[in-house]
Every structure is written in C-alpha cells, then in structure tokens.
Chains A and B, each alone.
Chain A
Amino acid sequence: MNDVALKSGTQDIVFDEVFPHAPETIWRTLTTGELIGRWLLMSPTGFEPVEGKRFTFQTTPAGAWDGIIDCQVLEVMPNERLAYAWEGGHEGNVGYGSRLDTVVTWTLSRVENGTRLRLVHSGFVLPKNDAAFKNMSDGWKQVVRKLDTIAAEQDSAKPLH
C-alpha cells in the first residue's frame, strides 16, 4: 500500500506565511517551552527538541477525555523542520474530544525578506464507519473547504470586544 492510499481517508490543515525574522529566531519560538506557552497559549510539559522525547499539553477536557494532548517529537532539523505527534481524545466522544491521532509539522525556509513558515497538521480522520460515506471523496473536500470559508466569515463578522 502506498502513502496516498494510506492517507486517503484523512485531511490536513495547512498554514503558510512569511515572517520578517530569521529562521533561527522563529526556531527558538517553536522549541523553547516558555516561548511556546506565550504564542500557543498552552505550556508544554516535558518538551525538548530531541527526537523521541514525549511531552504533553493540557487543554479543555471532554467526556471521558481528560484534555491531555500526548505528543512525541518525531523529527528535529534545527532551523528547518520540527515534527511531533499530536494525540488525544476518546473513542466515546464525537466532534470536539473525539479520538485524535495527528502529526504537526513545522517547516522553515529562508526567503528574501525573512522566513517562510509552513504548518501542516495532518491526519484528521473523516467518519469512516459508513460505507456510503467513503464515496464522498472530492465532494466532501469541497464541502469542508466551503465550510471553512463560512466559519472564517462568521468569525470576522463577530463584533470586537
């Protein structure tokens, strides 16, 4: 089975932006516990940028899930690439708090005016128990894209506090 077949049932979130800072500076914000806490708004417990290292984040619990996100560093290439497993949730939940078995990958590349930072959060599993649902493929992707647009518009329509 190839990669495409393995991943055919999952969706990725991708963000890609250029920051006017050197890769080394951005790398520091991604790999220093105290700095991670300041932008991610959750402080990691046990994080070190060392392959194989396990760490956790505490977030909002749901149902039988205690809200702990279990992570493990998968790849470290200083100033270039950082990947960690991001797992949590519980089989008994649906929606927020359902089982989550994903990977977060940061890629940094030097560009003329700074650094291009790309985040790929991969492995979101679509509902897979209904055989008919498997056939949605492209139609589903289109729907998800549209939904994201709607959500973004709704967010921006909210009054400022």
Chain B
Amino acid sequence: MTEAATISAVMRALADPTRRAVYERVVGSDEITVVELTRGSGVTQGAISQHLKLLKQAGLVAERPEGRNVYYRAEPKGLAPLVDWMSHYGVFWRDRFANLRTLLKEIDP
C-alpha cells in the first residue's frame, strides 16, 4: 500500500463516528475484547466486530487471540501517517528542553 493509500484508509476508518468511538475506547484501554467494547455501546457485537476489522485493516489496531477471546489494542504506529510532524516535534522539543537544562547548568552553575 502506498503512503497516500495508507492515509486515506486511516481517514476513512476514523471518519465514521461509531468506529471512531470504538477506536478511542481501544486506545483508552491496554487491551479490550469485543464483548467489553459492545457493553454499553448501543451497537451489536457483530457491528463492533466489523468496525474492528476495518480499524485493523487500516493498521490502527492489533489483535491477540487467547483462548476463546481476542484482545484488541491500539497500534501505536497507526496514526503515524497523519501526525508525523507533530509527533516528531513532540519528541524533538522534549529532548531539546532537556539539552537546554544541561547547557544552562554548564554556563550558569
């Protein structure tokens, strides 16, 4: 898949409000099952499964089968095509603040 295709897959996956809500709940938990996601969602388990399938295809969630359950978790790299500049500078400035603190200690002990 090309980068542009990846971006549109991610955007398509998140454009649907229900699917976005499912994704945010997955992001908000370490790992979560379809049953837990269905509880209180007002949507059927089949619908949740469909949303998860699309989120997985878009690279936004990963799954781990264990016994009779499948656990879903957010794929940290999933949103990378969309937020790269922001995540780049998030890390960049945090590191530079640390450098600045060290430099200040050197020139003004």
Tell me which residues across on chain B come within 8 A of A43, comparing CB atoms.
none
Checking B7, B23, B90 against A127 with a beta-carbon cut-off of 8 angstroms, the contacting residue is B7
A41–B99 touching, CB < 8 Å:
yes
Complex CA gap A19/B103 in Å reads: 11
A77 sits at the interface (CB 8 A): no
A124–B108 touching, CB < 8 Å:
no
B91–A121 touching, CB < 8 Å:
no
Find residues 63-82 in chain B having any chain A CB closer than 8 Å to their own CB: 74, 76, 79-82
Also in contact, A150 and B80, with CB within 8 A (given A17-B97, A39-B100, A41-B96): no
B27–A21 touching, CB < 8 Å:
no
Q: Mark B1-24, 1 if CB is under 8 A from A, else 0.
A: 001100110010011010011011
Also in contact, A147 and B103, with CB within 8 A (given A96-B88, A133-B11, A136-B14): no
Q: Which residue of B lies closest to A115 (CB)?
A: B104
Checking A100, A132, A147, A155 against B15 with a beta-carbon cut-off of 8 angstroms, the contacting residue is A132
Number of B residues with CB within 8 Å of any CB on chain A: 41
B62 CB to closest chain A CB (Å) equals 13
Tell me which residues across on chain B come within 8 A of A140, comparing CB atoms.
14
A15–B108 touching, CB < 8 Å:
no
Also in contact, A151 and B27, with CB within 8 A (given A38-B103, A41-B96, A133-B14): no
A29–B100 touching, CB < 8 Å:
yes
Tell me which residues across on chain A come within 8 A of B94, comparing CB atoms.
15, 152
Complex CA gap A44/B25 in Å reads: 43
Q: Which residue of B lies closest to A86 (CB)?
A: B89
A150–B85 touching, CB < 8 Å:
no
Tell me which residues across on chain B come within 8 A of A126, comparing CB atoms.
82
B57 sits at the interface (CB 8 A): no
Checking A29, A39, A96, A119 against B85 with a beta-carbon cut-off of 8 angstroms, the contacting residue is A96
Which 10 residue pairs of A and B lie closest in terms of their CB atoms, listed nearest first? A95-B84, A132-B15, A39-B99, A39-B100, A96-B84, A146-B27, A150-B76, A39-B103, A124-B86, A25-B108
User: B residues bordering A, Cβ < 8 Å?
Assistant: 3-4, 7-8, 11, 14-15, 17, 20-21, 23-24, 27-28, 74, 76, 79-91, 93-94, 96-97, 99-104, 107-108
